[in-house]
Amino acid sequence: MSGGRTMGAVGGSLSRVDGPLKVSGTARFTAEVRLEGLLYAAVVCSTIARGRIARIDSTTAERVPGIIAVMTHENCPRMKAPLAFLRDPNGAAMSALPVMQDNSVRWNGQPVAVVVAETQEIADQAASLVRINYEVEQSALAFEALLPQAQMPKNILGQPSLVKIGDAEAALKDAAIRVDAVYRTPRHYHNAIELHASTAQWDGDDSFVVYDSSQVLAVERTTLATMFGLKQDKVRVLAPFVGGGFGGKTLWNHTILCIAAAKLVKRPVRLVLSREDVFRVTGGRTLSEQRVALGAKADGTLAALIHTGTTAVVSHNSFPEQFTFPARHLYAAKTMLLQQKIVELDMVANTAMRAPGESIGSFALESALDELAVAGGIDPVELRRRIEPAKDPEKGTEFSSRNLVEAYRRGAERFGWADRRPLPRSRRDGEWLIGQGVATAMYPYYRRPGAALIRLTGGPGRGA
Dist CA 191 CA 284 (whole Å): 10
pLDDT of residue 6: 57
Q: How far is CA 299 from the centre of its chain?
A: 38
- Predicted confidence (pLDDT) per residue in 282-310, tens digit: 999 999 999 999 999 999 999 999 999 99
Instruction: Please state which CATH number belongs to domain 143-189+284-412.
Output: 3.30.365.10
Peptide bond into 444 cis (omega under 30): no
Residue extent(s) of CATH 3.90.1170.50 domains in the chain: 35-137+191-281
Give the CA diameter of the chain.
78
Residue ranges, the chain, pLDDT below 70: 1-7, 443-464
Q: Is 108 left (phi over 0), alpha (psi -120 to 50) or beta?
A: beta
Query: What is the Cα–Cα distance from 298 to 430, expressed in whole angstroms?
Result: 38
Question: Which fold would CATH assign to domain 35-137+191-281?
Answer: Aldehyde Oxidoreductase; domain 3 (3.90.1170)
How many angstroms separate the CA atoms of 26 and 14, rounded? 21
Residues of the chain with CATH 3.30.365.10: 143-189+284-412
Residue type, 258: C
At residue 443, the pLDDT reads 66
What pLDDT is attached to residue 201?
A: 98
Angle at 412 between CA 409 and CA 417, to 5 degrees: 145
Cβ within 8 Å of residue 302, ≥6 positions away? 294, 295, 296, 331, 332, 333, 334, 387
End-to-end CA distance of the chain: 40
pLDDT at 450: 37
Identity at 63, one-letter amino acid code:
R
Please return the burial class of 142, using the count of CB atoms within 10 Å of its CB with bins 0-12, 13-18 and 19+: exposed
Q: Are 331 and 408 in contact (CB under 8 A)?
A: no
Per-residue pLDDT at 4: 53
The single-letter code of the amino acid at 253 is N
Residues 6 or more apart from 131 whose CB is under 8 A from it? 56, 57, 58, 60
Cα–Cα–Cα angle for 452, 454, 456, rounded to 5 degrees: 170
Rounded-to-integer distance, Cα 440 and Cα 317, Å: 29
